[in-house]
Amino acid sequence: MQIDIEAERKEILSRYKNLIKACKRRLGEGDKEMIRKAFEVAVESHKEMRRKSGEPYIYHPIAVAQICAEEIGLGPTAIVCALLHDTVEDTDLTLEDVKGLFGVKISQIIDGLTKISGVIDNTASIQAENFRKVLLTMSEDVRVILIKLADRLHNMRTLEHMKRDKQVKIASETLYLYSPLAHRLGLNTIKSELEDLGLKYTDEEAYNDIANKLKETEPERKKFIQKFIEPLNEILQEQGFNFKIYGRPKSIYSIYNKIKNKAVPFEEIYDLFAIRIVIDTPYDQEKSDCWKVYSIITDFYHPSPERLRDWISTPKSNGYESLHTTVMGPEGKWVEVQIRTVRMDDLAEKGYAAHWKYKESAAEKENQLEGWLKKIREMLESPDANALEFIDDFKLNLFSDEIFVFTPKGDMKTLPSGATALDFAFDIHTKIGEQCIGAKVNHKLVPLSYELKSGDQAEILTSGKQTPKEDWLGYVITARAKSKIKNALKEQRKKIGEKGKEVLEKKFYKAKLDFTLQNVNDLCNFLKLPSSLELFYRAALGNVDTKEIKEFIKYKENPKKRAPKKSDAQKIEQLVTNARGSSNMLVIGDDMQKLDYNLSPCCNPIPGDDVFGFVTVDEGIKIHRVNCPNAVKLLSNYAYRVVKAKWTNEHLISFLAGIKITGTDELGIVNNITKVISNENHINMRSISFDTDDGIFEGTIMIFVHDTKHLSHLIDNLKKVKGVNAIVRIDEK
């Protein structure tokens, strides 16, 4: 294909002009020149490069800078960094060059955006290590993560040009890490788009199904919204409010989650949209005006008392402020109404980046952001070597709802929903957490594991003799408490390990074995222990006896062939080539060979499902469904251990699948269901269990089917049985 260089050059310049237009308002003296310089450096550095779509690579950094300026509202420093974000990683430009051209601050941010290069131990998660690096720089400058989110958003928008396996990996990583982060930083619009695009590439069928149904029901929805809004419009105008009122559809991803988690069909989800009322009012009147609007709405429509959420008096920790209520609208439908001001709406959509506009409330929000970044710094300081564990803990606190708990003196603490008395103790101070023996909640004595509710007043009871225990890790959900408990346990293990070292030295001496580092490491490998610290710890507890040391000496004298150690983790290529077998249902790897594999019990894949292979350390290749509950984590953290897998249709083999049926308890319904399964579809059942409660039945059936088509056909036939309301596929019983 002939490339028109001149046309491309014009297009690059036109995109650059649009970028300058988008950030014009925030340009100070010398800023335009600095952005121009960054643009020229980026064009020069990427001049030979093209994207998977065939377009010049420079389109990407310009698009990321455009998102930073237009959709997040960042200033000139971030725009320069966005233009240069891939130069150090992908071109000859070094960090030193960037520092010389643009100064220390910009080179620091670029460093945070540059992936860790070089080979990391093959059992580690490169993704988790890179993410930890981003967070390290982010705890010093939050712009790192905002640019990273803009970069990710553009990559997701252009994901159709990637190969299928890459699409699934990138989309999973987005759902696992980036959309929770966008949520935590209050970037609601970006969070929703990342989630919807993530779903589009991990479960395309579900995405298209919901998107089509939303399109089909749109006219009907618009009519209903109009009917709901009309009387409110009139009275709000009469009362002299300057306002906008409109219906906003919920995101495809949030509808998908409702269908999946609550097992309700699309047709039965009542809150497919929310009505939003945005009023333009001075800062000092915001609260009273929002409540006035609430009062007007509830004069017209009955509110549901349990569904009132006041995030104006106590904003969420990501800065979100709004008043939510659910009211009974026309046609007997519940409708969610969100009431907020222009300032609140701006902050809700653009998050922390919008704060430069609103000086009055910015200081308070800055403190909240600072508090959160401080927590991240603390977590990063913890000497935990396992980046993946760190990411898991970190994630825990990104997406959870919040509760407000009071100290005995009336200070309010914000904790994630599900937090316990022990979490609260660690939130106050590490020492109080470590010495916690219980708590008084609302003046009643409760255990460490007691789950707190919003509005509780808690007093922590401590004892100088108390120390953290292993089972405490099951009592806490906050990342702070988890990392503090792990650190304390490590310290305890270290102390016990020191005693164990002396015990082991004596045992070596008795067995006439030199107590050298080499011998200690060899014994660790012989006993399949992860480290010498674990060996010393076990020795202190009396779990390493003389018999094992004698066996070790025998082994040293005559080493038998042993299984490869964990640390010798083979490269995927070797594992894949060594795993040749006689299987003929799946083809695996880039060259689509037939290899041995195991079907993963966590999601029971069957032919026709979208699947991938995961190379495990000791169980060969395991096959998972792309929408398996564990897939998002595996694909985002261990992308380098994932191999392509595709079903071939050579033989009709039966696979186990599970379905859950709910409905009303009609006479003979179980008989009718089993008849459909065995007579009409010639399917064997492995197990069946039915439970009825007050006229409602729920049944779980494990059946053997050939593929997804076979299963869908069965589900369609079962839906015709009188009394059956809903059928969902389940992963396991």
Convert the pLDDT of each residue in 483-518 to its tens digit.
889 888 888 888 888 888 888 888 888 887 888 888
Task: Give tens-digit pLDDT for 229-257.
Answer: 999 999 999 999 999 998 888 899 999 98
Rounded Cα–Cα distance for residues 700 and 357 (Å): 55
Q: What per-residue confidence (pLDDT) applies to 478?
A: 86
Task: Give tens-digit pLDDT for 424-479.
Answer: 999 999 999 999 989 999 989 999 999 999 889 999 999 888 889 888 988 998 88
Q: What per-residue confidence (pLDDT) applies to 322?
A: 92
Rounded Cα–Cα distance for residues 370 and 64 (Å): 25
Whether 82 has a pLDDT exceeding 60, the answer reads: yes
| DSSP for residue 302 | E
Q: What per-residue confidence (pLDDT) applies to 600?
A: 85
Residue 340: φ, ψ to 5°: -155, 170
Contacts with 39 (C-beta within 8 Å, 6 or more apart), sequence order: 16, 19, 62, 83
Nearest Cα to 643, choosing from 618, 620, 616, 612? 612
Polymer length of the chain? 733
Query: Are 329 and 228 a contacting pair, CB within 8 Å?
Result: yes
Q: What is the CA radius of gyration of the chain?
A: 30
> Which pair of tokens denotes residue 228?
């709901």
In which element (H, E) is residue 730 found?
strand 724-730
Query: Are 154 and 64 a contacting pair, CB within 8 Å?
Result: yes
User: For 613, how many CA atoms within 13 A lie in the half-sphere containing its CB?
Assistant: 27
Query: Are 275 and 337 a contacting pair, CB within 8 Å?
Result: yes
Whether 569 has a pLDDT exceeding 50, the answer reads: no
Q: What per-residue confidence (pLDDT) applies to 395?
A: 61
Q: What per-residue confidence (pLDDT) applies to 649?
A: 56
Q: Cite the DSSP H helix spans in 478-621.
A: 479-510, 517-526, 532-540, 546-557, 572-578
Whether 79 has a pLDDT exceeding 70, the answer reads: yes
Q: What per-residue confidence (pLDDT) applies to 620?
A: 77
Query: Are 327 and 277 a contacting pair, CB within 8 Å?
Result: no
Contacts with 276 (C-beta within 8 Å, 6 or more apart), sequence order: 245, 246, 247, 248, 337, 338, 340, 345
Nearest Cα to 137, choosing from 464, 377, 437? 377
CATH number of this structure's domain 655-730: 3.30.70.260
Q: What per-residue confidence (pLDDT) applies to 574?
A: 44
Whether 396 has a pLDDT exceeding 70, the answer reads: no
**Choice among 55, 70, 90, 459 that is catalytic:** 90
Residue with tokens 């660790």: 524
Q: What per-residue confidence (pLDDT) applies to 303?
A: 92
Task: Give tens-digit pLDDT for 337-386.
Answer: 999 999 888 888 876 656 555 555 555 555 666 666 666 666 665 555 56
Q: What per-residue confidence (pLDDT) applies to 339?
A: 95
Confidence of residue 616 (pLDDT cuts 50, 70, 90): confident
Confidence of residue 576 (pLDDT cuts 50, 70, 90): very low
Q: How many helices (H) and strands (E) does the chain have?
A: 29, 20
Task: Work out the average pLDDT over 317-333.
Answer: 86
- Verify whether residue 90 is a known catalytic residue: yes
Q: What per-residue confidence (pLDDT) applies to 293?
A: 94
For β-strands 642-647 and 611-615, DSSP reports them as antiparallel
Q: What per-residue confidence (pLDDT) applies to 592?
A: 53
Q: Which of 101-110, 146-155, 251-260, 583-592 has the lowest mean pLDDT?
A: 583-592
Rounded Cα–Cα distance for residues 87 and 61 (Å): 9
Q: What per-residue confidence (pLDDT) applies to 248?
A: 85
| DSSP for residue 651 | S
Task: Give tens-digit pLDDT for 648-699.
Answer: 654 556 677 888 998 887 778 888 888 888 765 557 777 888 888 778 888 8
Rounded Cα–Cα distance for residues 193 and 704 (Å): 38
Task: Give tens-digit pLDDT for 193-222.
Answer: 999 999 999 989 889 999 999 999 889 888
The shares of helix, strand and coil residues in the chain, as percent rounded to the nearest 5, are: 55, 15, 30
Using DSSP's 3-state secondary structure scheme, residue 557 falls into helix
Q: What per-residue confidence (pLDDT) applies to 696?
A: 85
Whether 278 has a pLDDT exceeding 90, the answer reads: yes
CA–chain centroid gap for 311, Å, is: 24
Q: What per-residue confidence (pLDDT) applies to 358?
A: 58
Whether 403 has a pLDDT exceeding 60, the answer reads: yes
**Choice among 40, 89, 401, 619 that is catalytic:** 89
Residue 131: φ, ψ to 5°: -65, -40
Q: What per-residue confidence (pLDDT) applies to 30?
A: 85
User: Where are the domains positioned within the chain?
Assistant: 5-202, 209-357, 487-567, 570-647, 655-730
Residue 555: φ, ψ to 5°: -60, -40
Residue 696: φ, ψ to 5°: -110, 135
User: What single string gives the DSSP state of each residue in 621-645?
Assistant: EEEEETTSTTHHHHHHH-GGGEEEE
Q: Cite the DSSP H helix spans in 203-302.
A: 204-238, 252-262, 286-300
Residue with tokens 């026309």: 330
Residue 463: φ, ψ to 5°: -145, 135
Q: What per-residue confidence (pLDDT) applies to 368?
A: 63
Rounded Cα–Cα distance for residues 98 and 81 (Å): 10
Q: What per-residue confidence (pLDDT) applies to 575?
A: 40
Q: What is the mean pLDDT of the chain?
A: 81
Task: Give tens-digit pLDDT for 524-558.
Answer: 888 877 778 778 878 877 777 777 788 888 877 77
Confidence of residue 520 (pLDDT cuts 50, 70, 90): confident
Whether 290 has a pLDDT exceeding 50, the answer reads: yes
For β-strands 724-730 and 655-664, DSSP reports them as antiparallel
Confidence of residue 141 (pLDDT cuts 50, 70, 90): confident
In which element (H, E) is residue 431 found?
helix 430-434
Task: Identify residue 406 by its one-letter amino acid code.
Answer: F
Class of domain 5-202: mainly alpha
> Which pair of tokens denotes residue 337?
């109404």
Can you give the pTM of this predicted structure? Answer: 0.70
> Which pair of tokens denotes residue 603?
């999601």
Q: What per-residue confidence (pLDDT) applies to 580?
A: 33
Using DSSP's 3-state secondary structure scheme, residue 542 falls into coil
User: Which of 732 and 733 is assigned the larger pLDDT?
Assistant: 732
Whether 601 has a pLDDT exceeding 60, the answer reads: yes
CATH number of this structure's domain 209-357: 3.30.460.10
Whether 5 has a pLDDT exceeding 60, the answer reads: yes
Rounded Cα–Cα distance for residues 74 and 61 (Å): 15
